[in-house]
Amino acid sequence: MAKERIGFIGVGLMGHGMAKNIVEKGHPLTVLGHRKRDAVDDLLGRGATEADSLADLARRSDIVVLCVTGSPQVEAVLTGPGGLATAERPGGAPLMVIDCSTSEPAVTRRLAAALAPQGITLIDAPLSRTPKDAWEGTLDVMVGGDDEALARATPVLSCFAGRVVPTGPVGTGHTMKLLNNFLSMGYAALYSEALMIGAKSGLTPAVFDSVIAGGRMDCGFYQTFRRYVIERDPEAHRFTLDNALKDVTYLAGFAQALGVANPVGAAVRNAFAQPVAAGHGQDYVPTLSDRIAEANGTSLTANRSGSV
């Protein structure tokens, strides 16, 4: 049985590795041009083809995977001028769209309902883990959609995922992603504040790490975070402060729509809003530790070998 033709939009930090795995596992792949021309050229060298417009991509694809920034970009790609929903497909063939972005659940549900009468199935399949996992095909994917849609999407998702976790109806994948990122960005804010207090009192990051690493407060997120703090690896966690702020802002709006109190979320959001407002939005998440230390008149890199 021939594999479905896959279109891919958003071959950035995560999308490049995801698309690479799709084409290497035998799916005909068409990509849309991206500002990271090196990623597009790499994929073309692996057997992908390139579309010259959204409509062209839609005509060449049975399933389109989106890996863009958030809901505004998803809406533009789907229903904006020249978007996927406007494309004339041969024989009116049904199209599936898998949104792997971190989007607002309410927008995802609204788009899914609006597109269904046009024969377009939209499901949400946001991601967890890192660009390294995307390249290795070991991402975690949270999927919102009905059983039929999930069955159709799973062979594609399995190209780049180590785990595919159904979460319920459309929109629940994005809900779970917001909760996942709330926890991870909450860890980043907590680690950063704790490191700052330690440094301010003469306790070095190395001593902090010697207690946390391997203890009950360790986790996979801490392990990437510490690679920046302790080893000063600038590529340890390639997720920008801008994107972190976007995600926790989405969570704030979601909590407000539910009518629930979200005081910890507000504190986490403010921790990211301050460095973004100061012009550091394109820096990666672990640098939050430096910004919080600086704001309190200390440094995590001074006297690195000392202790209390």
All residues at 6 or more sequence positions from 41 whose CB lies less than 8 Å from its CB, including other chains: none
Which amino acid does the sequence have at 274? Q
Picking from 128, 133, 159, the residue whose alpha carbon sits closest to that of residue 143 is 128
Give yes or no for a contact between 9 and 65, defined as CB atoms under 8 angstroms apart.
Answer: yes
| Cα 15 from chain centre | 9
User: What is the rounded CA–CA span in Å between residue 120 and residue 241?
Assistant: 33
The 10 Å Cβ neighbour count of residue 119 is 13
Would you state the structure tokens that stand for residue 145, as one six-digit string? 């959609």
Residue 175: phi and psi, rounded to 5, are -60, -45
User: What is the rounded CA–CA span in Å between residue 149 and residue 96?
Assistant: 8
Asked if 132 is an active-site residue, the reply is no
139-144 vs 127-128, strand pairing mode = antiparallel
- Give me the numbers of helices (H) and strands (E) for the chain, helices first please: 13, 9
Catalytic residue among 25, 36, 177, 246: 177
Catalytic center residues: 177
